[in-house]
Amino acid sequence: MRGGPLMFVLIAGGGKAGRSLSRMLLDRGYEVVVIEMDRNRYRRLNEELEHAVIMGDATEIFILERAGIERTDVVVAVTGDDEDNVIISQVSREKFGVEKVIARVNNPENQEVFDLLGVGPTVCSTMALLSLVEHEMPIHRLVRLLSLKRENLEIVEVLLEEGSGIDGRRIDEISLPQGVLLISILRGDSAIIPTGPTVLNAGDHVMAILEPGCEEELTSIFLKD
């Protein structure tokens, strides 16, 4: 791992997705740098993330170098512009040799372009919503956030409903489906790294990494009895 003892993640784009991801990663102890070109957004992020932010255009090579891309382990391109996300992904891989690059697709119609250019894995919030409808799982409150095709894994977010049998219980008291790992809990404005003693509460948005096919078994334990 090029980032040393802690994984180093470079996030291009300090919007809602980039901000939330950076907070969760920092809470988990990762080294994070966010690149944001909007001056006002940069100032807010710089205060919130303890100066782990660089102002500039992430499609510019010198900005990427300034952010430390030469030693980064993962690049996440989550700007609001699909063309920029493609450029950032390609430059990261082809010029700097970053093996792990994740890109956001803002417009689902551009997914084919990302695929043709070999940019991925990709995530698209609009497509996640569509997937929710197609699988007819609205009551499950489950959203697929990211598909890791090479690893045959998915990252999902599920809402813990009031009245669920696991509301108020510790994680180490819950029998999770095989192949499921809870990786983060969003509770209000806070991000929590789950451990065995962590208590789950109704209203928690729980992120999990799992093998495809485990979704229904996972959501069944989050529903109200």
pLDDT > 50? residue 139: no
Identify which has the larger pLDDT, 76 or 199: 199
Q: What is the pLDDT of residues 15-51, one digit of tens each?
A: 887 888 788 778 777 889 999 999 999 999 988 887 7
Q: Read off the pLDDT band of 202 (50, 70, 90).
A: very high
What pLDDT score does 219 carry?
Answer: 83
What pLDDT score does 1 carry?
Answer: 41
What pLDDT score does 39 carry?
Answer: 93
pLDDT > 70? residue 9: yes
The mean per-residue pLDDT over the stretch 140-152 comes to 69
Domains and CATH numbers, the chain: 8-122 (3.40.50.720), 129-222 (3.30.70.1450)
Q: What is the pLDDT of residues 61-81, one digit of tens each?
A: 999 999 999 999 888 888 988
**How many whole angstroms separate alpha carbon 106 and alpha carbon 205?**
22
Does the pTM of the predicted model rise above 0.75? Answer: no
**How many whole angstroms separate alpha carbon 215 and alpha carbon 212?**
7
The mean per-residue pLDDT over the stretch 136-160 comes to 69
pLDDT > 80? residue 159: yes
Instruction: Identify residue 26 by its one-letter amino acid code.
Output: L
Q: Average pLDDT of the chain?
A: 81
**How many whole angstroms separate alpha carbon 214 and alpha carbon 179?**
8
Identify which has the larger pLDDT, 55 or 189: 55
Share of the chain above pLDDT 90, in %: 30
CA angle (181, 210, 154) in 5-degree steps: 130
Q: What is the pLDDT of residues 80-100, one digit of tens each?
A: 888 898 899 889 988 999 888
What pLDDT score does 21 carry?
Answer: 79
**How many whole angstroms separate alpha carbon 38 and alpha carbon 123?**
23
The mean per-residue pLDDT over the stretch 110-139 comes to 52
Starting from the edge strand earliest in sequence, which strands make up the sheet with 100-104, in order?
Answer: 53-55, 31-36, 8-12, 74-77, 100-104, 122-123
